[in-house]
Structure 1
Amino acid sequence: MIIHAYPKFYLRHAQAALGDAFDYAINTCGITGCDFIQMFVVSSVSKRMENGEPAYLVGKSGIEIALEVVAETKGQELQTESTERMDRSAEYWIGWAVAYYRWYSGRRYHEIFQALSFEALQKMYYTLHEADVTKFADIAEARLKECFSDTNLKRIRTTYGCTQAELAQRSGVGLRSIQMYEQRNKDINQASAETMYRLSKTLGCTMEDLIEK
C-alpha cells in the first residue's frame, strides 16, 4: 500500500507551484538548474512542502516559493519580474513532474534529486512531457531503487552512525529482527507500529521514512 505524502486535493496546486518556481528561477532569473535544485533541497521550503503544510502547498505561488528559497539560502532578493508564458517550459515540467512523484512516492526531495540530476530530468522531458505523469513516476521509482539499493532502515542507521547492535540496544528491537529487515528477509512494512515507533524515535526520523516503497 502506497502512503502518499499529503492529501491529493493539494497535489494539483503543489505541482503548478513547483513548476512555476523552477521556470521563474531558471528562465527568468538566470539561475542554473543545478544551483536552484541545491538551494531548494537545503531550504526550509522543501521541508515544509514535504511535511504537507497547506501554506506552502496551496498558499504560495511558484514565484513566491522561488523568492523565499533564494532569500533563505543566498540572502538575496530577486527583483526580476515574471513574464507571461503561453507554453510550459522544460523547467516547468521538471518541477511539476517531481512534485507529482514526491506526492506519489513519499520520498524526500533530496533523495529524488540525488538520483535524478537536472540534466537527467531535462533529457526525460523530451520523451515524457506528453505522456501521462505516471510514466515518469514509474521511471523515477526505478532510478531511485537503483540509487538507493540499501533498505531505508540501513541507509538511515548508517547515516545516524550506529551499528545494528547499538540500534537494537537503544530501541529495544531485537538484533535479529533488525538484521532481517535490512537484508529484506523480513518485510519492515509489516512490522508492528510499536517496532516502527521505537526504530524511528531512536534514529530521529519518521515512521514513514522507514517504509519501503
Structure 2
Amino acid sequence: MAEPSPPSPSPPNPNYVVPPTLPGDQPLPSPPGSDPQPRFLFPFPKRPFLRVTSEYDSDSSIFLHKVSCKLFDSLAKLKLSFQNNNKGEIAEPQVAFSSKYLSIHYDVEEQNALIRSSFDVGPRLHLRATHDVKAKQGEVAMVADLVEPGYALELSSPVPTVGLPIATFKFPLGEISLQEREKGEEVKRTLSVNGIVKGQVLNGVCTAQYSEEELKLRYTYK
C-alpha cells in the first residue's frame, strides 16, 4: 500500500496579528567612550629615554656633564659629554654614537671623528676596522678564533697599507706577533718578533716582554 501523503499546511489566519516590537527589544546604543581604540598601521615610535648625570671635581673645580639616550629600541646609544668651570665656560665637548656594529666618536673642538666597526664574517671569523678621519689613517684586522677558547690568530694592517700585514698569535698567557720593519740606512725590510708572556709565580705576577731584540723581565709581588 502507498504511504499517505503529509497534510498540506493550513492557510494563514487573516485574524492573526503580529505583536509590535517593543522599544526595549531594540539593541541599545553603546555608551560613549566604549568604542574600541583605533589601530594604526604604523605605530608611533616611543620617546627615547634621556639620562643626565653631572659630577664635580673639587681639585680642579670643574663640572663633568653627560647626556645620553637610547635609540631604536635600545639598539643604539647617543651620548653628549662636556665640561664647564666656575665661570660657565664649556670645554671638551664630545659626541658619541655607539651600536653593536658601529661606533662614532666626534671631538667638536678638534673637528675630528674616530670611526670603529666590527662584525662577524663567520662562526669563528671577525672583522675589525678603525679610521681616524682627520689623520686619514686607520687599521683593518681579521681575527680567527681557534678550536681552544682563548686562542686566536689575527692579521692586521694599517691604512694606507705599508708592507706585509702583522700576524699575531694570542693565547691565554700572552701573545706573539711577527711584523715587517725597516732597518738600516738602505731601508732593508726584515721580519721582527715581538711578544709578551704573563703568568703567576708564587705570590706574584711575572711578565716577560720581548721587543726590538730586547728582553725585559718584571716581577710584581702581591
TM superposition score category, shorter chain reference: under 0.3
TM-score using structure 2 length: 0.18
Higher relative contact order, structure no. (Cα contacts within 8 Å, ≥ 6 residues apart): 1
Higher helix share: 1
Which of the pair has more CA radius of gyration?
A: 2
More strand, by proportion: 2
